[in-house]
Amino acid sequence: MTSRSFLRLALAGAVASGAVTLSALPADASKPPRTVPVRLLALNDFHGNLEPPTGSSGRMVDEHGNTVDAGGAAYVATHMKALSDRNTIAVAQGDLIGATPLISAAYHDEPSVEFLGKLGLKVAAVGNHEFDEGYAELRRIMKGGCHPVDGCSPAGEWKGAAFDYVGANVLFKNRHAKTDAPAALGDSNAAELKQALGGSNAAELKQALSGFGVPALPPVSVKWMNGVPIGFIGLVTKTTPGIVSSEGIKDLTFVDEVKAANVASKLLRLVGVKAQVVLVHEGDQVEQGRSPDACSAVPGAGNRIATQVDPEIDVVLSGHSHQAYVCTVKDPRGRDRLFSQGGSFGRVITQVDMKVDARTRDIDRASLVADNHVVTRTVTPDPEISTFVQTWKDRVAPVANKAIGTITADITNTAAPSGESPLGNLIADAQLAATQTGGDAQIALMNPGGVRASLSHASSPAGEGDGVVTYGEAFTVQPFNNLMQVVTLTGAQLKTVLEQQFPGGPNNQAFTKILQPSANFTYTYSTSAAWGSKVSDMKIDGTPVTDTQTIRVAANNFLVGGGDAFLAFQEGTDVWSGPLDIDAFVDHLGKDNPIAPPATDRITVTG
């Protein structure tokens, strides 16, 4: 690949609008430094929460240690307006869509993306959930057009995102720049890029970019503020292939975040953009109960990126872990660098104030000040956005408020000591029932991360009365629209799947993730045994499982594709596909009413 063709790809997001002109730095170095102000306002992991999120998802610890109600699009808009000034660029760190409430998901998240455009968002990194419906659907969200299956929403033909989506570490597999670049990113910026690539930088560019790859998304976006260019580099967690359905990203590869950031940083620097900000959908966990402005992050995947990316990068804004922190870390040259995150679900806005030297066009890091503002609900909700949200709420109401079943008490997704939850077990039972006819399923396993909320016995939003479950509530529990599948595994392979619930194996499971089993499948695991020997006494309908027998196992297509590091599922044969997981759940909730919370006694734990 030539340097010319790669940089055309890399800067497509930055100059496609024609509003950006890349130029040389001013030659006169004798003038005294003059700085100009720039403010960033950042959101991450919004997940389509147009309405105020409920329960613990709608609460946040504030700067004073108080737990307060937070979030909701109309409140986000009010806070954003109060924090914005003429120097502001609004940005985001991914998972703006995907795993969303029905008000957004029913229309493939077009309402959420439209809201973010109304909010004034300019640049966003892609998150793993931006790929939930596959790369082609992400491109439609970016560029516009009606959904290929469901058609146009009630608002008419989708016009595309009003902001730039960027992802420097998302590359095509086995593609050549000449044939695939125009289809992927468009070619409207050829004249500007031809000018930017001319001159003595050609050889250096070629050397810098040698052996990288063809980006599937614009890696960078450049925004001008007060006469200086600010370069934004987008990154998504490299673990994305393990946490989204494989079919939708089969033509993509997700390379190391640090490697991709460093290539993108060189590209920006070679065309004169020295003020550089990374928007990365990867982050760290925190000590609980701390102020959102505290540096409570426990160093992990986010810290690795924040400390290792190119020294030219001044700021690293993160996401993915749904935590709030403001930290100062050291870059590879030992200089201080900002590393922060703003919670999730629209509960926190991160404000970053800085000054940029107008002569060198670089950020004065000593001027950096960051503040995580909790999006409280004590302010007046923005009237325009309130009307906007209500419009979509009215559109989806007939579907959301439909009663589908009844329950005797709360059915929660809170894990018991075994790792099972009552709701996880109920979903597994529903999935087994939905796949026995046609798929010949014998057992079912459900990933706990896919159980997104609890079912409440309290009155539903439609007011049908205690114990009534609506479609909207069921969808909040299972919002992914995964496909139910059944595969054949041997007893030995099934045991390996269960061993892969625990860290320490070759599948690199980061945390213990206990799959939720259907009622007819029981087993024991030992907390102290070595990996590979943890699981024992597997039984189906009370009959011991042997290594050589074959078993038809039902799971969603995310797990069957090896998601959540359950790679042994990929060894399954004779794949059968059935209904969507939400349809299986809704159907099950409509039978044998009222439904009581299942016991969490299917797994036995020993020391």
Give the pLDDT confidence of 35-77 residue by residue, as tens digits. Answer: 999 999 999 999 999 999 988 889 999 999 999 999 999 999 9
Residue 110 near residue 158 (C-beta atoms within 8 A): yes
**Residue 1 in this model has a pLDDT that exceeds 50:** no
**Residue 194 in this model has a pLDDT that exceeds 80:** no
Question: Residues with Cβ < 8 Å from 550, sequence gap 6 or more?
Answer: 488, 489, 490
CATH class of 403-605: alpha beta
User: From the DSSP assignment, how many helices (H) and strands (E) are in the chain?
Assistant: 17, 29
pLDDT computed for residue 90 by the predictor: 98
Q: How many CA atoms lie within 13 A of 531 on its CB side?
A: 12
pLDDT computed for residue 107 by the predictor: 96
The helix or strand, by DSSP H or E, that contains position 15, with its residue range, turns out to be: helix 12-15
Give, in degrees to the nearest 5, the angle at Cα 467 between 461 and 472.
40
pLDDT computed for residue 525 by the predictor: 98
Domain borders along the chain are 35-383, 403-605
Residue 273 near residue 233 (C-beta atoms within 8 A): no
Residue 91 near residue 123 (C-beta atoms within 8 A): yes
**Residue 246 in this model has a pLDDT that exceeds 90:** no
- The CA distance from 19 to 413, in Å, is 49
The DSSP code sequence of 128-152 is GGGGTT-HHHHHHHHH---BTTTB-
Which tokens is 480 given? 């992914």
What percentage of residues in the chain have a pLDDT greater than 90?
Answer: 82
- The residue to which tokens 């024991």 are assigned: 524
**Residue 555 in this model has a pLDDT that exceeds 50:** yes
**pTM metric for this prediction:** 0.83
Fold of 35-383: Purple Acid Phosphatase; chain A, domain 2 (3.60.21)
pLDDT computed for residue 213 by the predictor: 85
Rg of the chain over Cα atoms, rounded to whole angstroms, equals 25
pLDDT per residue as tens digits for the range 132-154: 999 999 999 999 999 999 999 99
